[in-house]
Every structure is written in C-alpha cells, then in structure tokens.
Structure 1
Amino acid sequence: MSKYRKALPLLNGGVFLTDGGLETTLVFHQGVELPFFAAFPLITSEAGRAQLNAYFTPYLELASRKRVGFILDTPTWRASPDWGEKLGFSPAMIETANRLSVEFLVELRDAYAGKVEPMVINGAIGPRGDGYRVEGRMTVAEARHYHGLQMRAFARSEADMVSAVTLNYVDEAVGIVRAAQDCDMPVAISFTVETDGRLPSGEVLREAIETVDRVTGNYPQYFMINCAHPEHFEDVLEQGAWLGRIRGVRANSSTKSHAELDAATEIDIGDPVNLGARYGALRGKLRNLQVLGGCCGTDHRHLAAISDACLAA
C-alpha cells in the first residue's frame, strides 16, 4: 500500500532532494554498460541492485545531513514496451521490472526511516522515443495506450506517484496524464527544452504547461523542467500564474545543446558551484520550487552545491 498517494507531502511545503544523472553516473563514472541507456535491467540481478544501492546512498546521506525530504525515483526511464523489446524484455517482463523497481525503493526507504523524512517513492516514466528528439510522434490516445502499461504497474505497486520526465512535445504529456487519470495516480510532468527555452518540438514552455493543465483539468500535481541547463530556460520564465505550477528542476550539468551531448564521448560535469547558484536564483522566479535534483552529468557533488545554495537562501 502506498504511503503518500492520497496526500503527497511535498504539496504541504518543504524542500525535497532527488538524485542526479543516474545513467550518466553509471556509464561514465562507474563503467557500467547500459545498452540504449536503460538502467532498469539492473533491477533484475543482485549485482545490479547492489550498484543501484551504491548509487543512491550518497544522495540519501546528503538528505539526512540537510534534514530535508527525498523523492526516490525508480530506474525505469526506459522501462516501456518499445525500449524493452530492443533489450529482449517482453511486456510481462517490463511490468515485472517496474514492480521490482518499486520494491527495491521500498527497501531503501525502510533502511533510512527516521533519517530521511518524508521519502516519496516515485515511478519514473520516460518518452517513447528519444528524449532529445521528437520521434514517432503520437496522438494523445496513442500515448495514453502506450504508457498505460507502466502506469498500471505503478498503480498496483507501493509507488506514491509517477513522474514523466524528458518529455518533448505536448500530446505525449497529455496522453500520460490521461493514463494517470485512468489509474487514479498522482502524476508530475517534466518537459525538456533546447538552448532557446523551447521544447524540441518547437512548442513554447509556457504554452505547453498551460495546455496540459487546460485539457486535463489541472490534473498534474505539478510540473518540472529537466535535462537542460538553467541558462537554457531561465530567460523564458516570465511572469504568470503558470510559474506557480513548476515545483521541480532537474538540470543538466553541461551548458551544451542536446545535439552536442548526444555526440559526446566524455561526461561534462560543468561547474557544480555555479549550477547551485543558478538554482538559488531560480527560486527567486519559481516561488513553489521544492524538488531539487539533477539530470545528465550531475552527481552527488552537484546536489550538495544545489542544496547548499538553496537551503542557505
């Protein structure tokens, strides 16, 4: 049974940390092979779970020292039918991987009970295609059907909520929200943007958020921005009620474009202190910014700098 599904604690205020760039950390820092950048197969072996446990530990220790909440994301960004098929996972095996991912996080949460409170277990959903490019664009109905498998798996688990991250066009986001509504699951929607602050589809960030809210009756619990450096989107955060709907940022460490990152053979960790300062500045524009995390290229050092800057402010 979910601990917080009916009343997410972050909606009552407070700061919540997340982890950083799971896949980039495993690949570039730990030398783990992740075909198709998929981390979810690790959950199916004892050795893989040990790697994930070692990955999450520094972040949980940081949250314990800072006395803030934590949002534990399942390693399931790629755990959907199309990506699973490429990796030899049937739909049934994909469903099992999503369930096992939640069970793994429940064990982590229990291990840190009393040290990190509250801890929200979040089912992570990624785009059907590549997060950096709009591929195989779906209708809302198609997206609702495609992402339903993961959504149902999380609904039957102890997950408290679901976050769909690195989304790059509106129709897929709306379809995911529809799937969440079908399962009565709390959901957060996170868009990625290019260096001009627009979604890879060319859609304007403000219009994307306002459209999802309008057509779904404001169903998402909140919105986030991820997989982009703050300098790519801070200038488009103009005044408006829509800014209050953004509660989370999971930025990249690098200021490079998506195309440049896609072609990179080495990790670009950027400047953790500068990234932290930019998060601190973002809190001046995003009055409800609570969920502080990282994406590609970030690790626990970046989260330490981000928490230092934001909690001091």
Structure 2
Amino acid sequence: MARYRDSLPQLGGETFLTDGGLETTLIFHEGLELPEFAAFVLLETEEGRRQLRGYLEPYLRIAREKGLGFVLDTPTWRANPDWGAKLGYDAAGLRRINMAAVRELIALRETWETPGAPLVVSGAIGPRGDGYKAGRSGIEEAERYHAPQIAAFAEADADMVGAFTLTGTDEAAGIARAAAAQGMPCSISFTVETDGRLVDGTSLRDAIATVDAETGASPAYYLINCAHPTHFELALEPGEPWMERIRGIRANASAKSHAELDESDSLDIGDPEDLARRYRALRDRLPRLRLLGGCCGTDHRHVRAICEAWLPA
C-alpha cells in the first residue's frame, strides 16, 4: 500500500529536498552511457541498480543530516512509449520497468527514512517529445498516452506522480487528468526559456491558470525545472495568487540557454554558491516554496549549498 498517497507530507510547511541532475551526473561525472538520455535502462542489471543507489545516497545523507524529508523520483523520465520504442521496450516492457523503478525506491526508503523526515516515492514522467521543444499532443491524446505509465506507478504503490520538463499546457493537463483518474496526486513542472516563458511563448502565470482550469486544479502543486533562476525570476509576480501554486524549484546549474546546452559537449556546473543565493532570494517571491532540488548540471554539492543557504543557521 502506498504510504503517503492520501496525504503528501510536502504539502505542509516543512522544507523537503530532492535530487539534482540524474542523467548529467551519471554521464559526465560517472562516465556512463545512457542511450537516448534514458536512465531507466540501468534498472535492468544489479550493477545499474547499484549505480542508481550510489547516485541518490549523497542526497539522502544531506536530508538525514538536516532532518529533512525527501522526494524520491524514479529514473523513468524517458520510460514512455515513444522513447521506450527506440530502446526496444514494448508496452509490457515499459509497465515492468516502471513498476520496478518504484519498487527500487520503496526498498531504498526502508533503509533511509527516519521518524519526522518522510521519504515520498514519486513516479517521474517526462514529455512525449523533446523537453526543449513545444509539444503537439492535445489534452485527451496526452491523457491516453501517459495513462499506462501512471497506472504502473499506481499499481507499484508510488505515492504520487511528478511530471517534469513540460513545454506545453495541453500535455500537462492531460497528465494531470490521467493521474486524477488513477487516484494519484501529481505535480506538474514546466521548463522555460531565457525570457521566463514556455517555448511557445506562454507565461508561467497563464500556463498554471490554464492547467488548473482544464483539470479542476487537480495538480497538488507546480514546479519549475530545467532552467536557471536568471531565466525565470523576473517572471515571478510577488503577491499574485498563482504564485502560491509553485512549491518546488529544480533549477539548472548553468545560465546557458537550452539551445546552448544542447550544443555543448561538456558539463557546465555553474557556481553552486551563487545558485544557492538565488534560491534563497526566491523565498520573497514564492511564499509556498518548500521543495528544493536541481536539474541539469547540478549534483549533491549544489543541493547541499542550496539547503544551507535556505535553512536558518
């Protein structure tokens, strides 16, 4: 039975951590090859599962040291039909691997969870297409497309669903509807360009308002991920009600644009201390911000710096 599905602890007032850039860490720091940028293939071997655990454990140590809860996301950002087909996975194979990902994290939770510091297991969903390009699916099509992955997470007893690097409101609304149909709480995370808008020009304000309107405000909360704070901090409007829907930030380490990052063959880890200061400055703009983590280029050093800047001395 899912432990926190009926009452997500990160919806309270406490700070929660999550991890950083899984794929960029494994590729650039660990020297692994991830076909199609897919980390879920590591679940197929004991060595791969060991590498995934080894990636998460430094973050879990920080959370334990600080007495904070943690959101554990499955390595399944690419485990959907379009990307899975490129890697030889049919529907049955994807169901199996998505369920295995949840069960791996449930086992990890049994080792690391402590009283007062819950570990929430979240099934991670990525966009059907490229995370840096506008999606083409309508709401109903997106709901049908993502439903099997969400059903696998639900059956394996994940606490929630987290959709990341979304570039359009239709796909976001479809995922939220599919999650609600399965009785799964979900979070929706948009990525933005250097002007603070989605790739199709939609503002964050309008994106959140649109998804809430299309879904009866079913997402538990929203995040921003895969963008540097300099890209979106000016798009935030202090005092506006929609700002209260944003509870998490998973920023990139680099201030480069998506196009620049796509063309780079090296990892830009930015300045962890500067990134941490920018997170701290976001407290005044985002009154409900509680979930802190990173995205491309970040690792446990960035999350530690963010955590130490955020918490009282």
Q: Is the 8 A contact 1:70 1:116 kept in 2?
A: no
Cα separation, 2, equivalents of 1:171 and 1:34: 29
**Residue ranges of structure 1 left out of the alignment (5+ in a row):** none
Report deviation, 1:116: 7.5
Task: Answer yes or no: is 1:155 the counterpart of 2:154.
Answer: yes
Amino acid at match of 1:81: P
Query: Which residue in the other structure is 1:206 paired with?
Result: 205
Amino acid at match of 2:83: W
Deviations 1:159-190 (A, max 9, x none): 00001000001100011011111101100000
Query: Which residue in the other structure is 2:232 paired with?
Result: 233
Query: Which residue in the other structure is 2:84 paired with?
Result: 84
**Residue ranges of structure 2 left out of the alignment (5+ in a row):** none
Query: Which residue in the other structure is 1:169 paired with?
Result: 168
Cα separation, 2, equivalents of 1:123 and 1:114: 21
Query: Which residue in the other structure is 2:13 paired with?
Result: 13
Classify the secondary structure of the residue corresponding to 2:189. Answer: strand
How large is the RMSD of aligned CA atoms in angstroms?
1.0
After TM superposition, the structure 1 = structure 2 runs for residues 86-125 of structure 1, keeping only pairs within 5 Å, are: 86-114=86-114, 117-125=117-125
Cα separation, 1, equivalents of 2:98 and 2:280: 34
Greater shift, 247-256 or 206-215, is seen at 206-215
Deviations 1:33-83 (A, max 9, x none): 001100001111101000001000100000011111000000000000110
Classify the secondary structure of the residue corresponding to 2:123. Answer: strand
Classify the secondary structure of the residue corresponding to 2:105. Answer: helix
Classify the secondary structure of the residue corresponding to 1:25. Answer: helix
Deviations 1:114-173 (A, max 9, x none): 2782110000000000001125x0110110011011111111112000010000011000
Amino acid at match of 2:306: I
Cα separation, 2, equivalents of 1:91 and 1:32: 26
Task: Answer yes or no: is 1:187 the counterpart of 2:186.
Answer: yes
Cα separation, 2, equivalents of 1:116 and 1:66: 11
Cα separation, 1, equivalents of 2:100 and 2:116: 22
Report deviation, 1:113: 2.8
Q: Is the 8 A contact 1:191 1:225 kept in 2?
A: yes
Query: Which residue in the other structure is 1:301 paired with?
Result: 301
Query: Which residue in the other structure is 2:223 paired with?
Result: 224
Classify the secondary structure of the residue corresponding to 1:224. Answer: strand
Query: Which residue in the other structure is 2:37 paired with?
Result: 37
Classify the secondary structure of the residue corresponding to 2:63. Answer: helix
Structure 1: 4+ residue segments shifted above 6 A: none
Query: Which residue in the other structure is 1:2 paired with?
Result: 2
Aligned residues: 312
Amino acid at match of 1:10: Q
Task: Answer yes or no: is 1:255 the counterpart of 2:255.
Answer: yes
Q: Is the 8 A contact 1:64 1:116 kept in 2?
A: no
Query: Which residue in the other structure is 2:143 paired with?
Result: 144
Classify the secondary structure of the residue corresponding to 1:76. Answer: coil
Report deviation, 1:312: 2.6
Q: Percent identity?
A: 58
TM-score (norm 1): 0.98
Deviations 1:219-273 (A, max 9, x none): 0000000000000000010131000000000000000000000111000000000
Query: Which residue in the other structure is 2:267 paired with?
Result: 267
